[in-house]
């Protein structure tokens, strides 16, 4: 009788430990960011083989008067786009072209 309980408990422990990996959460800091569809400016920069286009594109997008207008209508969208463009600007200043395009492309999809 004890042997059956021992065998059943060993099997239950092995199954529980084996299945625990499926429910474990991944570390969000080690995961790659989710893929984002490329914006038209990103696609054009790739076609032109222009490595410095992201910084210029982000500066132009930051100069958009619609992102500077004060008011309560759409405030969270405007603030989100400004934050993403700020991250893209910082990445361009650091020379990280891939991160710059990632944040610029996300800003173009945000609020649509």
Query: Which pTM does this prediction carry?
Result: 0.66
Domain count, the chain: 1
Q: Which residues constitute the domain of residue 92?
A: 40-109
CA angle 96, 35, 24 (to 5 degrees): 105
Q: What pLDDT does 35 receive? A: 77
Q: Quote the CA–CA distance of 83 and 81 in Å, as a whole number.
A: 5
81 found inside a domain = yes
Higher pLDDT among residues 46 and 68, named by residue: 46
* Range ranked top by mean pLDDT from 11-15, 63-67, 105-109: 105-109
44 found inside a domain = yes
Higher pLDDT among residues 4 and 72, named by residue: 4
Q: Quote the CA–CA distance of 27 and 83 in Å, as a whole number.
A: 23
């Amino acid at each position: 009788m004890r042997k059956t309980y021992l065998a059943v408990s060993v099997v239950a422990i092995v199954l529980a430990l084996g299945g625990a990996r499926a429910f474990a959460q991944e570390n969000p800091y080690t995961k790659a960011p989710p893929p984002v569809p490329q914006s038209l400016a990103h696609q054009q920069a790739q076609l032109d083989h222009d490595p410095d286009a992201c910084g210029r594109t982000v500066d132009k997008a930051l100069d958009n008067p619609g992102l500077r207008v004060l008011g309560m209508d759409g405030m969270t969208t405007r603030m989100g786009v400004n934050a993403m463009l700020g991250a893209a600007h910082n990445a361009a200043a650091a020379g990280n072209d891939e991160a710059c395009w990632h944040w610029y492309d996300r800003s173009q999809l945000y609020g649509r």
